[in-house]
Structures are given as C-alpha cells and as structure tokens.
Amino acid sequence: MLNALLGGLSDAVLALDAQGRILMANAQLRELWQIPADTACAGPVDALLQHLLTQLADPQGLLHEIAGLHESSENHKHLLGFKDGRTFELASTALPDYPGGGRLWIFRDWTDQQTLELQRATLDFHDGLTGLPSRRLFLDRLQRGMIAGARSGHCGALLMIDLDHFKALTSALGHDQGDSMLQQVAERLAANVRDSDTVARLGGDQFVILLEGLSPFMLDAATRANAVCKKLLATFDWPFEADASDPVCTASAGIVLFQGNNDPADELMQRADLAMFQAKAAGRNTIRFFDGAVQTVVNTRVTLEEDLRHALQHDEFHLSFQPQTDVGRLMTGAEALLRWQHPRRGLLLPAHFLSLAEETGHMLTLGKWLLEAACTQLARWGQTPATAVFTMAVNISGRQFFHPDFVEQVQETLSRTGADPERLVLELTESVLLTRLDDAFGIMKALKSIGVSFSLDDFGTGYSSLTLLKRLPLKQVKIDVSVVHGLMQSESHALMARSILSLGNCLGLEVVAEGVETEEQLDFLTLYNCNTCQGHLFSQPLTADELGHFISARL
C-alpha cells in the first residue's frame, strides 16, 4: 500500500531497508540525480552513492544524509553542483518509521520554487513595468530614512512627481507607447539622483523620490531639494522615444521636508501629494512646497541665484574699502570688501549672497574678480610714494584657496595688475585652514616665497588653535569684531583680547582689531600693544573715489 502511494508522487523517492538495500528508487529520482540507465536502482545503495561521488562537485552533505549520519526526522536543503556546470537546489524530507526499520526520503528540486518565490518577492517590492521600488518597499525605506534622519539630525525630503496630461498622451499614442514612456521616465529619474536616494513608482504616471541626509538646516535642505527637483523636471525637456512620433511631456512636482520621525510616513506622502496638486493648479510644469513659508523663502533664493548669475555677467559688483590704521590713527592700508549693487534691491552686503555663491559654484568666479579688483587698486597705490606702503587685505574663501590653480592665479593677477606682492595680505579663517592643514601649509609657503602675506581672520571665535599660529607662515591675526565689541561689557571678552594680543606679541605676529567703534575700545587696544585697527571710529567702508578723498585729507 505504501509503495503504491509513493509511486504516485511527482517527487523523487528513495527508500532503503534496514540493511541499506534499495526498496524503491522511482523514475523521478533517476531524472533528478541524472542517473544513467546502466546504474542499478536495486540491491545495495552503494552504486548510487558512487554515482554521486563521481558526478557532483561537493556531494558530502547528501551522502551523509543517505548514509544515516543525519537524524531521520530532519529536513535538509542541498545545493548540488554537477561537474559539468549544472546546479540546482535539492530539498529533502526524511520520513520516520518506514516499515521494517528502513529509511525513506522524498527529494524535490527546489530551484524552480526558489525562483518563483523570488519573482513573487520582486513583484511585491518592485513595480512590474519599470522595475522601480513599489509603494510597499518605498514606505519601508522612507521609515528607515526618517529613523536615520532622527539619529543624524539631517533633514530629508519627499518629491512627488506626476506627468502632465499623460492620459491624453496615452489616448493619442496607445497604451503600449504610454508604458514605454513611463519606463523612460523611470530611467531618467533614477539616473539623476544619488545612489543613496530612492525613486519609486506609486502607480499610473506618479513617481516619488526620497532624498536623505540633505542638511541639518531646514532652509538649506529645502534649497537642495528644490535644486534636485529642478534637475529632474529638466530631464523632461527632451522628447521621449516612440514608434510614431517623439512626444514631449512635462511634469509637476510637490516637495515636503522632514526631520526625524515625528510624522507618520503616510502623512508625509499625503503632504507631498497635496503639494504636487498645488503645482498642477499653478499651471503645471512647476514645483511647490507643502510649507508655504518655505516656498516663499526658496522662491526668493532661486530668484537671487538667477540675479547672481546675471550680476557676474553684467559687472554689478564693486569694492568698498575699510581703512586700516595704527593706534595713532595713521592709515596703513585697507581691507577690500565686496559689494553688490542689485538693480532692484539696492546695495547688498556679502552676508546676503556669499553663502549662495559658495553653494552654486559661483564663488570661484566671484573670488577671482575680487582679487583682481583689489590688486588693481593696490597697483594704483604703488604709483604714489605716500600710498605705496599701504597694504591690501583680501578675504579668500576655502573653495578658492584650495583650488588647484590658486597659487598660479595669484601670481598671474599680481603680474597682470603690477601690484606689489609684498603689500598683499590674504585673509583666511580658522575653519578653512583646519579642514586641510597640510595642503594649506603648502599653498601658503608657495605664495610667501613671492612676498604674499597671510592673516588669520576671526581669531577668537572658532578653535583658536595655537597649532595654526605656530605651524603656518602667518603675518598677522585679527581679533574678531564680536570680541572687540564686548571689551567694555564682558570680562571674558577683555581677557580674550588681552590673550590674543599677548600671544601675538610673543610669536612676532601683528594683531589687527576689527570693529573698533569707541574711544574706550581704542584706549584698551593701545594699552595692550595692538598694531592695527579698523572700524567705524576711523571710517565707514568707502568706495574707491571716497577712499581717494579720505587719503588726500590725511596726507
């Protein structure tokens, strides 16, 4: 009865008696194990075991099971690799209490089953048309991203993108062509984000992107998310490939920011969806933030970026000069200050645009212009004996300073303008120098060899590292304006100023105090041997013409 029942199975069956002789080895077993016709499937099992030894690359696990080295009640899986290169996964089930004290196994080729399960998992977690993550997988990654953001303190963003008038396009082109367009959209979106970002298709013509680790600052994160979104929408500018035509399609996008996991993932998705519909209502082919206040700030920033690009092309920048004097009020030079004469917003100070210039990559162009203009003025001073001794201090950004061509750029600028390198002072902050101290030393050494000097700006507000003062070839340090302003109100500020002045004198460094506005501050700085001062007590920042009059009045 048992043999009749087992004989009807579609699985491979091997039954042995108590002495290890084959009671049953069905046709399915022969096929599964690739047993040749001349190999006996009756009598002792040795012939079958010998076949396995000669055909399989690593048969030990299966041999141990048949030889009785595993418990009969266990289930096992074996990855079998034939020496001819074929592989498959074999699942075995050992049945206990076979009549007569023998042993019986049922074997099944698990390879197809594994493939089927993998396909099912793929369908559960990936979109069948585009291969992108599905909603289910995306929500899991969103949840993980929110937890990671809470741990790191960085903001993330959801971008919801929906194609404009897609139903009309599919009606005109046909659903097959519509599917092809969706696949091309998926490829374009995935190709224009970081590997750490996630692009998913929610269904229809709606896609969602998860941007993680943008910035610890909400406004900065919003700016970055907006830039990514603009880049993604720009990928719709060129036509899609189709059989009958090359259709063009735009898209609308909504953005919602998150920081940590305070809000449910589904709620964030709804907010991004709402922002996307706001973009549709605004005329399509545009971007909207869920937070209206963020939208306003981002719009202002985007406009300012466009204006900055225009300003660089149309010479809207100019220099102002902050005179520097000794404590006896005798002028010794000036600091070049960048100003932007905006056509609508009036005069803008660096605080309004320098960070934007850094983020957008315009700082290199702007810094090069600043150095050129400052050296041009320095060369003019060199033509008159009374002003030829003046120094010109120029602030240098980290991006500009560590550019591979910076040393060559300074040399060429000095040569082209005719400025005296001995009178040029480049100002750098502690935070910039500490990022790449060894590189900074090499750059400063190269420029010092031609006479250029260096000043450590904003000393007393950052690390205030003695290492910088001892190791780097500095000429001067500048006491930050916040320290100077607190001299008369705070003992800690007074102590900081005295320490910097004492340290500078000990190390042979000039000390410059900026932001000097009162006679009391000047008296304090004079008492503790400050070398140079600048601030409104002596003069407001001046244009080139105003500076000329200022100098003439003191000659």
Contact residues for 113 (Cβ-Cβ < 8 A; gap 6+): 91
Is residue 15 within 8 Å of 43, Cβ to Cβ? no
Average pLDDT over residues 299-304: 76
Average pLDDT on 279-286 reads: 87
- The tokens for 514 are 């900026």
pLDDT at 420 over 90: yes
| pLDDT above 90 coverage of the chain, percent | 37
What is the pTM assigned to this prediction? 0.56
**What does the alpha-carbon distance between residue 459 and residue 526 come to, in Å, rounded to a whole number?**
19
pLDDT tens-digit profile of 83-122? 666 666 667 677 665 666 677 777 776 665 555 454 554 4
pLDDT tens figures, 373-385: 999 999 999 999 9
**Cα 401 to Cα 405, 422, 432, 518, distances in angstroms:** 9, 19, 9, 34
Chain region(s) in the chain for CATH 3.30.450.20 = 2-114
**In whole numbers, what is the pLDDT of the chain averaged over residues?**
83
Question: Which carries the bigger pLDDT value, residue 546 or residue 60?
Answer: 546
Residues of the chain with pLDDT > 70: what percent? 83
- Which of 41, 49, 53 has its CA nearest to residue 15? 41
Return the pLDDT at 71.
Answer: 45
pLDDT at 358 over 70: yes
Residue 51 — pLDDT band, cuts 50, 70, 90? confident
Mean pLDDT of 419-437: 90
Q: Is the pLDDT at 397 greater than 70, yes or no?
A: yes
H/E run at residue 554: helix 544-554
pLDDT for the residue 82? 62
In this prediction, residue 446 carries a pLDDT of: 96
pLDDT (0 to 100) of residue 73: 43
CATH 3.30.70.270 range(s) for the chain read 126-305
The residue among 484, 481, 527 whose CA lies nearest residue 502 is: 527
**pLDDT for 112-126, tens place per residue?**
555 545 455 445 577
Residues of the chain with CATH 3.20.20.450: 371-554
What's the Cα-to-Cα distance from 407 to each of 145, 219, 414, 455, rounded to whole Å? Answer: 42, 35, 11, 16
User: Which is nearest to 87 in space by CA: 61, 56, 66, 117?
Assistant: 56
- pLDDT attached to residue 69: 38
pLDDT digits (tens, 9 = 90+) for 515-539: 999 999 999 999 999 999 999 999 9
Does the pLDDT value for residue 149 go beyond 70? yes
CATH superfamily for domain 126-305: Reverse transcriptase/Diguanylate cyclase domain (3.30.70.270)
CB within 8 Å of 117: residues ≥ 6 apart: none
pLDDT for res 460: 65
The residue count for the chain: 555
Decide which of 18 and 472 is more confident: 472
Hey, which CATH number is domain 2-114, 3.40.50.300, 3.40.225.10, 3.30.450.20, 3.40.50.1100? 3.30.450.20
Q: What pLDDT does 209 receive? A: 95
Return the sign of the alpha-carbon dihedral for residues 236, 237, 243, 244: positive
In the predicted model, what is the mean pLDDT of residues 349-360? 83
List, for residues 218-257, the tens digit of each pLDDT value: 888 888 899 899 999 999 988 888 766 777 889 999 999 9
Q: What is the pLDDT of residue 319?
A: 94
Report the pLDDT value the prediction gives residue 65, as an integer from 0 to 100. 60
CATH of domain 371-554: 3.20.20.450
- Write down the pLDDT at residue 72: 43
Helix (H, G, I), strand (E, B) or coil at 412: helix
Q: Residue 211, SS3? A: strand
Cα-based distances in Å from 193 to 187, 210, 368, 489, 550: 11, 10, 31, 51, 54
What is the structure's pLDDT at 88? 65
Please list, residue by residue across 368-395, b when 16 or more beta carbons sit within 10 angstroms of its beta carbon and e when fewer do. bebbebbbbbbbebbeeeebeebbbbbb
